[in-house]
Amino acid sequence: MLAGPEITQVGKYLFTLKEFKEQIQIIVVVFGSVLALTRSLIQYTHSRVNVIARRNKELHRAGELVGFLSQLSTAKLPEEQNLALHKEVQVSLEHALQDIDKLNLKLLALEKDPNSHLNPAQKIFLFFRPKGWRSVTFVLLTYACVIGAVAIAMVKHASVHLGYLLEVGTPFLLGFLFHHWALEERRRVLGAAHRRNTRFFFFHMPEQLRVFLAQIVFLLNCMLIVAMGSIQVFKHPFTNVLGFIIPFCFFSFSAFVFYSWGRAELQWQDSPAQLQPFHVALGKLRRSLVGTLSLLLAFPVSGLSFFLAFGSAMNVFLNPQSKTVFLSLLLIFITMTSLPAYGAIRIARIEGSRRYASEPAQETAAEALATSA
């Protein structure tokens, strides 16, 4: 029979073994995800090689079709069957030639990209000579974020709590951003054409402070949404639905506003137009669904953040023992009070000014049509 202390020791041992098993499972999942991500990155870095292989395959296919057409011209087949086969092969050959032209254009664009000539190791681990202080800074920040994330993951006990996900996910997210910015900076320094997709503006290196603010707060809101969803799924399976829906809607609405703000700023940067005053732009906003939704969602978020900031400010004075925590919350809620409202105003001005600039041209065209009639 086991005595009381021995039973306690066995219980502690089993509890430690259970924790170790959970830790191993989480590490295996993370390791598998890293392997999958690395494989995807290697495939991405081989884009130029893949395009060349696809083009060679299409060239071989086109050669086979041309050879088959020459055989049909000498083959002794019924006329109707010969014409049908000839037409089908001709259509396939035209499709193959179109694919070859598209791949040649894509390969030409890749030849102008200096990063396409880097091998996978150079592209993934940034093993190239940085040019300029900005490039050096981005490379150093990338490695600092990755090392910091690995150190946090090794020191902290792995879990799906919000704090752990934020502590580990934030440096990994920043490391990914700085990695992409280092490659973009190399492309810019070597004189390549600037490629930018406004739909995925949050991946690109910002050139304006407004775009940078929209980018950072959008990514932070997305990370909070993912963390909240993970906690609900793995730890608390929707035991408090209202307590989950309200924060989820709050961060979702703010993420939509920041996403629309970043896209609007980049679109205005690509084709700058004179911004009209807010009351003029607001009158032209009726045709912009994004601008209207941004205004309708931003001000409730800012209003709720204002009341939360007021409550945090009161707690700073009422609870001196937790002063640091409430000061941090006060700073966060003040930011969430001002940025969504400012972003919605910028979206309204940009979208309304674009509609204002396009309407005179439409009116002139309508008047010319009426005059000619």
Tens of pLDDT along 250-295? 888 999 999 988 888 888 877 777 777 777 777 777 777 788 888 8
Question: What is the rounded distance in angstroms from the CA atom of residue 328 to the CA atom of residue 322?
Answer: 10
pLDDT value for 368:
42
Three-state DSSP at 314 gives helix
State the CB neighbour count (10 A cutoff) for residue 269: 15
Rounded distance between C-alpha atoms, residue 199 and residue 284, angstroms: 23
Over 277-289, what HEC string results? Answer: CHHHHHHCHHHCH
Q: What is the average per-residue pLDDT within 109-126?
A: 79
pLDDT for the residue 364: 42
Predicted local distance difference test score (pLDDT) of residue 60: 84
Please classify residue 69 by burial: count the beta carbons closer than 10 Å to its beta carbon, then call 0-12 exposed, 13-18 middle and 19+ buried: middle
Average pLDDT estimate for 29-49: 53
pLDDT exceeds cutoff 70 at 126: yes
Measure the CA–CA gap between 67 and 273, rounded to whole angstroms.
56
The total of other beta-carbon atoms located within 10 Å of residue 21's CB is 10
Residue 25 vs residue 70, higher pLDDT: 70
Indicate if the pLDDT at residue 341 is higher than 60: yes
Identify the DSSP state of 190. Answer: T
The 10s digit of each residue's pLDDT in 145-186 is 888 888 887 777 666 566 676 777 778 888 888 888 888 888
pLDDT (0 to 100) of residue 95: 84
Do residues 47 and 179 make contact, with C-beta atoms less than 8 angstroms apart?
no
Tell me which of 357 and 190 has the higher pLDDT.
190
Q: Which residue has the higher pLDDT, 307 or 197?
A: 307
**Looking at residue 373, what is its pLDDT?**
46
Reading the block at residue 105, the tokens are 């254009």
**Can you give the pLDDT at residue 140?**
92
Q: Categorise residue 75: left if φ over 0, alpha if ψ from -120 to 50, beta otherwise.
A: beta
Kindly state the average pLDDT of the residues 293-316: 87
Q: Is the pLDDT of residue 102 over 70?
A: yes
Angle at 126 between CA 43 and CA 166, to 5 degrees: 85
**Listed residue (172, 168, 167, 266) closest to 214, CA to CA:** 266
Backbone angles phi, psi at 245, to 5 degrees: -70, -40
- 16 has pLDDT over 60: no
Q: DSSP characters for 191-246? A: T------GGGGGGSPPSSHHHHHHHHHHHHHHHHHHHHHHHHHHT--SSSHHHHHH
pLDDT at 310 over 60: yes
Supply the pLDDT for residue 3.
52
Of 39-43, 73-77, 333-337, 344-348, give the lowest mean pLDDT range. 39-43
| Residue recorded with tokens 């946090």 | 152
Residue 69 above 60 pLDDT?
yes
Identify which has the larger pLDDT, 254 or 15.
Answer: 254
Which range is least confidently modeled, 13-17, 90-94, 272-276?
13-17
Give pLDDT, residue 370: 47
Query: Angle at the Cα of 270 (from 267 to 271), degrees rounded to 5?
Result: 90
Residue 75, pLDDT > 50, answer yes
Helix boundaries (H) for 75-207: 79-111, 120-124, 133-155, 162-189
**What is the model's pLDDT at position 363?**
45
Residues 6 or more apart whose CB falls under 8 angstroms from that of 192 comprise 112, 113, 114, 115
Mean pLDDT of the chain: 75
Nearest to 230, CA basis, from 154, 140, 165: 165
43 band by pLDDT with thresholds 50, 70 and 90: very low
pLDDT digits (tens, 9 = 90+) for 199-234: 777 777 777 888 888 888 888 888 788 777 777 766
